[in-house]
Amino acid sequence: MGRHPDETIRAFDLPAGPHARGPGRGGRGFGSQAGFTLLELAIVMLLMLVVANFTIPRFRSLTDLNMKSAIRRIAGSTRFAYGEAVTKNRLMGIEFDLDERTWKVLAGLSAGASATSWTDYTASVLSASQRLPEGVFFKDILIEGTPEAFYDGKAYTRFRPGGRADTTVIHLADDNDRQWTLVVHPLTGRVKIHEGYEEFLIHGTEQP
Protein backbone atom coordinates (compact mmCIF):
# COMPACT_ATOMS: atom_id res chain seq x y z
CA MET A 1 0.00 0.00 0.00
CA GLY A 2 1.25 3.49 -0.73
CA ARG A 3 1.54 6.17 1.93
CA HIS A 4 -1.03 8.81 2.31
CA PRO A 5 0.32 12.22 1.22
CA ASP A 6 -0.19 13.60 4.72
CA GLU A 7 2.00 10.87 6.17
CA THR A 8 4.85 11.82 3.83
CA ILE A 9 4.72 15.44 5.00
CA ARG A 10 4.70 14.34 8.64
CA ALA A 11 7.75 12.15 8.04
CA PHE A 12 9.79 15.16 6.83
CA ASP A 13 8.72 17.16 9.87
CA LEU A 14 10.23 14.66 12.32
CA PRO A 15 13.84 14.97 13.62
CA ALA A 16 16.23 12.99 11.40
CA GLY A 17 17.83 10.70 13.92
CA PRO A 18 19.52 11.15 17.30
CA HIS A 19 21.79 14.02 16.11
CA ALA A 20 18.94 16.26 15.10
CA ARG A 21 18.77 19.51 17.12
CA GLY A 22 15.75 21.29 18.35
CA PRO A 23 15.09 24.05 20.85
CA GLY A 24 15.66 21.60 23.67
CA ARG A 25 18.96 20.20 22.34
CA GLY A 26 21.28 23.14 22.13
CA GLY A 27 19.77 24.81 19.09
CA ARG A 28 19.28 28.55 19.07
CA GLY A 29 15.78 29.10 20.31
CA PHE A 30 13.96 32.37 20.85
CA GLY A 31 15.52 32.94 24.27
CA SER A 32 19.10 32.71 23.00
CA GLN A 33 18.33 34.99 20.04
CA ALA A 34 17.04 37.64 22.43
CA GLY A 35 20.18 37.36 24.57
CA PHE A 36 22.44 37.72 21.53
CA THR A 37 20.56 40.84 20.42
CA LEU A 38 21.00 42.47 23.83
CA LEU A 39 24.71 41.73 23.64
CA GLU A 40 24.91 43.37 20.24
CA LEU A 41 23.06 46.41 21.58
CA ALA A 42 25.47 46.70 24.48
CA ILE A 43 28.44 46.55 22.09
CA VAL A 44 26.94 49.24 19.87
CA MET A 45 26.32 51.52 22.86
CA LEU A 46 29.89 51.00 24.03
CA LEU A 47 31.22 51.88 20.58
CA MET A 48 29.07 55.02 20.54
CA LEU A 49 30.56 56.14 23.85
CA VAL A 50 34.08 55.51 22.58
CA VAL A 51 33.41 57.47 19.38
CA ALA A 52 31.89 60.35 21.38
CA ASN A 53 34.96 60.54 23.60
CA PHE A 54 37.18 60.89 20.54
CA THR A 55 34.86 63.27 18.69
CA ILE A 56 34.62 65.95 21.42
CA PRO A 57 38.39 66.47 21.69
CA ARG A 58 38.57 66.63 17.90
CA PHE A 59 36.15 69.56 17.83
CA ARG A 60 38.12 71.26 20.59
CA SER A 61 41.32 70.76 18.63
CA LEU A 62 39.69 72.31 15.57
CA THR A 63 38.75 75.38 17.61
CA ASP A 64 42.32 75.60 18.91
CA LEU A 65 43.62 75.47 15.36
CA ASN A 66 41.25 78.25 14.33
CA MET A 67 42.45 80.42 17.20
CA LYS A 68 46.10 79.79 16.33
CA SER A 69 45.34 80.64 12.71
CA ALA A 70 43.69 83.92 13.74
CA ILE A 71 46.64 84.91 15.94
CA ARG A 72 49.18 84.06 13.25
CA ARG A 73 47.34 86.03 10.57
CA ILE A 74 46.80 89.12 12.74
CA ALA A 75 50.47 89.06 13.73
CA GLY A 76 51.41 88.82 10.06
CA SER A 77 49.27 91.86 9.24
CA THR A 78 50.87 93.98 11.97
CA ARG A 79 54.38 93.05 10.82
CA PHE A 80 53.47 93.87 7.23
CA ALA A 81 51.94 97.24 8.14
CA TYR A 82 54.92 98.17 10.31
CA GLY A 83 57.40 97.17 7.60
CA GLU A 84 55.55 99.20 4.97
CA ALA A 85 55.46 102.24 7.25
CA VAL A 86 59.22 102.12 7.77
CA THR A 87 60.39 101.19 4.27
CA LYS A 88 57.90 103.32 2.33
CA ASN A 89 58.01 106.20 4.82
CA ARG A 90 54.26 106.49 4.90
CA LEU A 91 51.47 106.18 7.40
CA MET A 92 49.90 102.72 7.58
CA GLY A 93 46.98 101.36 9.52
CA ILE A 94 44.91 98.30 10.30
CA GLU A 95 41.14 98.57 10.38
CA PHE A 96 39.46 96.09 12.73
CA ASP A 97 35.73 95.53 12.23
CA LEU A 98 34.54 93.91 15.44
CA ASP A 99 31.00 93.32 14.18
CA GLU A 100 32.06 91.61 10.96
CA ARG A 101 35.04 89.87 12.62
CA THR A 102 37.37 91.19 9.91
CA TRP A 103 40.47 93.34 9.51
CA LYS A 104 42.46 94.85 6.63
CA VAL A 105 45.66 96.83 6.08
CA LEU A 106 45.32 100.44 4.93
CA ALA A 107 47.91 102.66 3.27
CA GLY A 108 47.89 106.32 4.21
CA LEU A 109 49.61 109.53 3.23
CA SER A 110 53.34 109.99 2.96
CA ALA A 111 55.45 111.45 5.74
CA GLY A 112 54.93 115.12 6.46
CA ALA A 113 51.27 115.19 5.45
CA SER A 114 48.89 116.25 8.17
CA ALA A 115 46.09 113.96 9.23
CA THR A 116 43.55 114.53 11.93
CA SER A 117 41.26 111.58 11.29
CA TRP A 118 41.29 108.30 9.44
CA THR A 119 39.32 109.79 6.57
CA ASP A 120 42.33 112.05 5.92
CA TYR A 121 44.95 109.38 5.44
CA THR A 122 43.29 106.10 4.47
CA ALA A 123 44.30 106.57 0.87
CA SER A 124 44.04 102.94 -0.21
CA VAL A 125 43.53 99.39 0.97
CA LEU A 126 46.71 97.32 0.70
CA SER A 127 45.29 93.93 1.61
CA ALA A 128 42.01 92.18 1.13
CA SER A 129 39.78 92.00 4.15
CA GLN A 130 40.54 88.97 6.31
CA ARG A 131 37.96 87.26 8.49
CA LEU A 132 38.47 85.48 11.79
CA PRO A 133 38.01 81.71 11.52
CA GLU A 134 34.74 80.08 12.53
CA GLY A 135 34.17 80.16 16.28
CA VAL A 136 36.65 82.99 16.94
CA PHE A 137 35.69 86.62 17.55
CA PHE A 138 37.00 89.94 18.87
CA LYS A 139 36.05 90.36 22.51
CA ASP A 140 37.38 93.91 22.70
CA ILE A 141 40.25 96.07 21.44
CA LEU A 142 42.17 98.79 23.29
CA ILE A 143 44.21 101.29 21.28
CA GLU A 144 46.58 103.94 22.52
CA GLY A 145 45.05 107.40 22.32
CA THR A 146 41.42 106.29 22.35
CA PRO A 147 39.24 107.12 25.38
CA GLU A 148 37.92 103.60 25.94
CA ALA A 149 37.95 100.05 24.65
CA PHE A 150 36.10 99.03 21.49
CA TYR A 151 33.45 96.33 21.84
CA ASP A 152 31.83 96.79 18.44
CA GLY A 153 32.14 98.92 15.34
CA LYS A 154 35.53 99.71 13.82
CA ALA A 155 38.88 100.34 15.48
CA TYR A 156 42.09 101.59 13.86
CA THR A 157 45.72 100.98 14.75
CA ARG A 158 48.24 103.39 13.18
CA PHE A 159 51.81 102.63 12.09
CA ARG A 160 53.71 105.88 11.64
CA PRO A 161 56.50 106.49 9.09
CA GLY A 162 59.04 106.95 11.88
CA GLY A 163 58.55 103.34 12.93
CA ARG A 164 56.20 103.72 15.87
CA ALA A 165 52.83 101.99 16.17
CA ASP A 166 49.88 102.62 18.42
CA THR A 167 50.13 100.27 21.37
CA THR A 168 47.19 97.95 20.80
CA VAL A 169 45.68 95.21 22.94
CA ILE A 170 43.43 92.74 21.14
CA HIS A 171 41.35 90.28 23.13
CA LEU A 172 40.21 87.23 21.18
CA ALA A 173 37.72 84.62 22.40
CA ASP A 174 36.18 81.46 21.00
CA ASP A 175 32.85 79.72 21.38
CA ASN A 176 34.20 77.80 24.38
CA ASP A 177 34.99 81.14 26.11
CA ARG A 178 38.72 80.52 25.94
CA GLN A 179 40.52 83.83 25.53
CA TRP A 180 43.84 85.11 24.27
CA THR A 181 45.48 88.53 24.51
CA LEU A 182 47.54 90.02 21.68
CA VAL A 183 49.69 93.09 22.36
CA VAL A 184 51.13 95.06 19.44
CA HIS A 185 54.51 96.45 20.50
CA PRO A 186 54.81 100.15 19.56
CA LEU A 187 58.51 100.04 18.63
CA THR A 188 58.59 96.85 16.58
CA GLY A 189 55.04 96.23 15.41
CA ARG A 190 55.35 92.66 16.59
CA VAL A 191 52.65 90.86 18.52
CA LYS A 192 53.22 89.38 21.96
CA ILE A 193 50.78 86.61 22.79
CA HIS A 194 49.31 85.87 26.22
CA GLU A 195 47.00 82.98 26.97
CA GLY A 196 43.88 84.16 28.79
CA TYR A 197 42.41 87.64 29.22
CA GLU A 198 45.24 89.93 30.30
CA GLU A 199 44.63 93.58 31.16
CA PHE A 200 47.17 96.25 30.25
CA LEU A 201 47.21 99.93 31.10
CA ILE A 202 47.56 101.95 27.90
CA HIS A 203 48.00 105.71 27.91
CA GLY A 204 44.77 107.40 26.91
CA THR A 205 42.51 104.37 27.35
CA GLU A 206 40.19 103.10 30.03
CA GLN A 207 40.14 99.46 31.00
CA PRO A 208 36.95 97.52 30.12
pLDDT at 87 over 50: yes
- HSE at residue 20, side-chain half, CA atoms within 13 A, is 8
What is the average pLDDT score of the chain?
Answer: 77
The answer to whether the CB of 74 falls within 8 A of the CB of 191 is yes
Q: How far apart are CA 20 and CA 11, in angstroms?
A: 14
Q: How far apart are CA 139 and CA 36, in angstroms?
A: 54
Alpha helix (H) ranges present in 22-150? Answer: 30-87, 118-121
99 φ/ψ sector (left φ>0, alpha ψ -120 to 50, else beta): alpha
User: CATH homologous superfamily for 52-195?
Assistant: minor pseudopilin epsh domain (3.55.40.10)
> 197 versus 49: which is more confidently predicted?
197
pLDDT at 203 over 80: no
Q: Which of 50, 39, 70 has its CA nearest to residue 139?
A: 70
Q: Which of 18-22, 32-36, 202-206 has the lowest mean pLDDT?
A: 18-22
> 35 versus 15: which is more confidently predicted?
35
pLDDT at 167 over 50: yes
Burial class (CB in 10 A: 0-12, 13-18, 19+), 103: buried
pLDDT score at 205: 52
Binned at pLDDT 50, 70 and 90, residue 108 comes out as confident
Q: How far apart are CA 152 and CA 189, in angstroms?
A: 23
pLDDT score at 142: 96
Per domain, the residue ranges of the chain are: 52-195
pLDDT at 184 over 60: yes
The answer to whether the CB of 105 falls within 8 A of the CB of 80 is yes
Strand order in the sheet with 191-195: 136-143, 168-174, 179-184, 191-195
> 9 versus 76: which is more confidently predicted?
76
